[in-house]
Amino acid sequence: MVFPSLSLGITSAGTKKGELFLADVNTQLKNKNVTTDIKVDTNSNLFTTITIDEPAPGLKTIFSFRVPDQRSGKIELQYLHEYAGISLSIGLTANPVVNFSGVLGTKVLALGTDISFDTDWEFHQMQCWIEFHQCGSHCFSGSVTHSFSANVNTVTVGTQHALDPLTTVKARVNNVGKASALIQHEWRPKSLFTISGEVDTKSIDKSPKVGLALAFKP
């Protein structure tokens, strides 16, 4: 039996932190307007996400859950426009948490906010952020985030450089001392191999995180 609209993609990733090694395998299945992502990690957790592209342009419905956590179910509505994006999600529990996020901007500058509260309208957290991007042969980006619940500002700057048409290097650092970098190579069309690392410069005694990822699309 032939399914002309069916496509399959497989991604594997691993992260080493000290003596601990964490890995997962993600399988993505697409059939017409429905995309199913299934991920299994080394702790035998099963993560499932089902995305339905609605008839209206830019509108999506996303249903996700994790096994064996019965409280992890969540449904999300997304609307994406050329200059704006809105997301509303609600947990599938007896006392669900509602999250709202929105962004407005262009490829160069963007403004956004994230709000979280429960069904009793108890305020959980809120943060606002601003980002800028400037691309040419090199790409530069930056963001400033303010968390109202923690009263903390986070400033992040990053850069991206193409070593060749198939290989890209990215790096970023923030004001709390987190620095990360990755190198990504497209070894065949739509198939990527990525090496990444992250270090906390204010806690040198902590082991850095190192990750490997392989994305394969036939």
Task: Please report the pLDDT score of residue 2 as a whole number.
Answer: 44
CB 171 within 8 A of CB 159: yes
Comparing CA positions, the residue from 2, 9, 13 lying closest to residue 193 is 13
Query: What CA–CA distance (Å, rounded) separates 34 from 25?
Result: 20
pTM here? 0.65
Q: In the chain, where are the structural domains located?
A: 6-216
Per-residue pLDDT, 1: 42
* CATH entry 3.30.70.360 includes domain 6-216: no
Give the per-residue pLDDT at 32: 83
pLDDT in tens, the chain (218 residues): 445 566 777 777 777 666 667 778 888 888 888 999 988 887 778 899 999 998 778 899 999 988 877 777 899 999 988 889 999 999 888 788 889 999 988 878 888 888 887 766 565 667 777 877 777 667 888 888 888 777 888 899 999 998 888 999 999 999 988 999 999 999 888 788 999 999 998 887 788 888 888 887 76
